[in-house]
Structure 1
Amino acid sequence: MSNTSTRLRRGAIGVVGLVAVAVTAVVAGGAAAKPAAPGNPYNLNKVGTLTVGMTLQFKPQMYLTPKGEPAGYDVVLVKALAKRMGVKLDIKNLDFNGLIPGLVSKKFDMVSVGLSNKPERRKAVSFSRPYVPYAQIMAARKGDSTAATIAAWNSSEKAITSLQGSTAEQLVLKTFPNAESKSFPDQNAAFLEVATGRADGIVVENYLLAQFNKSNGNKLKQVAFKKPLQVEYGSYAVQKGNTALSNYLSKFICSQQKSGQLAKTYKATIGASLPPMPVCR
């Protein structure tokens, strides 16, 4: 996944753009909570069909197969969601910047693209509880014998790579200030610097490590710190005030989480173990 796509999903789409979207939502009457209509308990735009906005460009989380079919973690989940709701599923594939405006204008019922629940976004849409984690971890070469502690890696003898301008780069600078920080504009270059022995470790999202290893003979290993360096979460977005749907989505996520199905889906599609998720009460 590109650095741009990562920052877009975790950050805001632009204050000016979101304020404009938020104003549109208020004008459209989307700010107040909507009571469920008879025969349409989740306030779907089209009764009997769950329309989901996605950007199918983020493999392995969501993408199109060579045959043009939606696939990935998010796709498996929304298929299970629609089945549980007893409705048809209609996936709309849009560029990322069109998702929130499209949701506000009722082109679809929800957005599934790993959006972070940011204050600016809450002006325009409502969110479910988190459904996808983004864990920042450390990886090193298979034979590296450095102790799996922050102190051992926070050394002037260590060189740690990251993607330039990313959350990972900031984590390297903050968590390992004594180490040499080597950032690269290309994610693969940051990986190869470690794989070829020119650097000792890389801070990266866990699923990106799984993808790299799959294509490069498992050259790297995850450093077994007690916990990830940082975990961020993505949530589903729905039209502002549609608490009936957002509450149902949160319950669905918790049912998947408690049953262990969420972890199975994550492992099968992402290729890594599910990072810690917020506890369901």
Structure 2
Amino acid sequence: MKKIKFYLLPFLLLFIFMTLTACGVNTKKNTWQKIEESKTITIGYEADFAPLTSKQESGKPEGFNIALAEAIFASYNIKIDWKPLDWSAKEKALKEGEVDLIWGPYTANKTREKTILFSQPYHTGNLVLLVPKEAEIYNIGDMHNQAVGGQKASAAYDLFSDYPQILKNIVKENLMFLYNQPSDAIAALQTGKIQAALLDKDYTKTYLRNHQLEGLYNMLDTPYPQVEYAVAARKNDTELMDKVNQGLQVLQHSSEFSKLSKQWFLS
């Protein structure tokens, strides 16, 4: 009898170990559960993309995206810790856990969707070509051998690369001169380093008005597809993204969404 008990001991220990391990796995909290417990979420954003997102002189963020997120997470009684991001390193910040979400002017594509979870789109944008009024550029065809600039890691750069027949194949060096911020591209345009900037239309309209430049530049429409902006999370944070999508759906079916759109977007 003692011999039988002795032989059974290793199996008993293995059973106990597996049970404890399984319990450990089951009790591990996901991102949403941690957020619910701490009542705080960290969201990364682009500090230079009004009217969607921008950083005030006081350091506080503002914009359409900011207002949307604040409304959604207030309904869950959760406070947002906003973190401005280096836009060319936003994916790294998400992957390494510096932020729980990216709620900047971010777009989904096939490459990103392999490693990133995106929400339903919450806003669509259009790309325009910003040119000085005195320049003899009236349409995209006039951009032959002219220098075009834009923001690195932006939707504008993605579409410029994905649809080379529209602009890339005819511009100077067949490339886009890249800048850290969209405002840097406009500054380069002002000093003559480039002849045009490919930018989001809402951003461009807001920038020109805020800097009293409307009379000096033309915005040319482009045939690029519309840009669909979405919220980004880590691939396994499905419960968190469910909460984001639920919040967006509630807002979009209420008068609040229309009110925020009218508040932030110029007609």
Q: TM-score with structure 2 length normalisation?
A: 0.59
Indicate whether 1:245 and 2:240 are aligned: yes
Deviates more, 1:100-109 or 1:230-239: 100-109
How many angstroms apart in 2 are the aligned matches of 1:81 and 1:49?
13
Indicate whether 1:231 and 2:226 are aligned: yes
Give the length in aligned residue pairs: 225
Seq. identity, %: 16
Task: Work out whether residues 131 and 253 of structure 1, in 8 Å CA contact, stay in contact via their aligned partners in 2.
Answer: yes
C-alpha displacement of 1:51: 0.9
Of 183, 186, 189 in structure 2, the residue corresponding to residue 188 of structure 1 is 186
How many angstroms apart in 1 are the aligned matches of 2:212 and 2:236?
46
Rate the CA distance shift 1:135–1:155 in 2: closer, same or farther, 3 A. closer
Task: Work out whether residues 64 and 70 of structure 1, in 8 Å CA contact, stay in contact via their aligned partners in 2.
Answer: yes
How many angstroms apart in 2 are the aligned matches of 1:157 and 1:98?
30
Indicate whether 1:216 and 2:212 are aligned: yes
Q: TM-score with structure 1 length normalisation?
A: 0.57
C-alpha displacement of 1:203: 4.9
Taking the TM superposition and a 5 Å limit, the aligned residue runs for 1:66-77 are 66-77=57-68
Task: Work out whether residues 140 and 202 of structure 1, in 8 Å CA contact, stay in contact via their aligned partners in 2.
Answer: yes
Structure 1 regions of 5+ residues with no counterpart?
Answer: 1-33, 147-151, 274-281
Indicate whether 1:163 and 2:149 are aligned: yes
Of 262, 265, 268 in structure 1, the residue corresponding to residue 260 of structure 2 is 265
Of 42, 52, 68 in structure 1, the residue corresponding to residue 42 of structure 2 is 52
2:80 match: 89
Task: Work out whether residues 36 and 244 of structure 1, in 8 Å CA contact, stay in contact via their aligned partners in 2.
Answer: no
Q: For residue 113 of structure 1, give the secondary structure of its aligned residue in structure 2.
A: coil
Rate the CA distance shift 1:222–1:257 in 2: closer, same or farther, 3 A. farther
What's the RMSD between the two structures over aligned residues?
4.7
How many angstroms apart in 2 are the aligned matches of 1:189 and 1:176?
21
Q: For residue 68 of structure 1, give the secondary structure of its aligned residue in structure 2.
A: coil
C-alpha displacement of 1:63: 3.2
Query: Which protein is richer in helix relative to its size?
Result: 2
In structure 2, give the amino acid aligned to 1:47: E
2:33 match: 43
C-alpha displacement of 1:167: 5.4
C-alpha displacement of 1:52: 2.3
Deviates more, 1:156-165 or 1:110-119: 156-165
How many angstroms apart in 2 are the aligned matches of 1:131 and 1:174?
28
Q: For residue 207 of structure 1, give the secondary structure of its aligned residue in structure 2.
A: helix
In structure 2, give the amino acid aligned to 1:187: A
Task: Work out whether residues 36 and 78 of structure 2, in 8 Å CA contact, stay in contact via their aligned partners in 1.
Answer: no
Of 65, 76, 82 in structure 1, the residue corresponding to residue 56 of structure 2 is 65
How many angstroms apart in 2 are the aligned matches of 1:178 and 1:238?
34
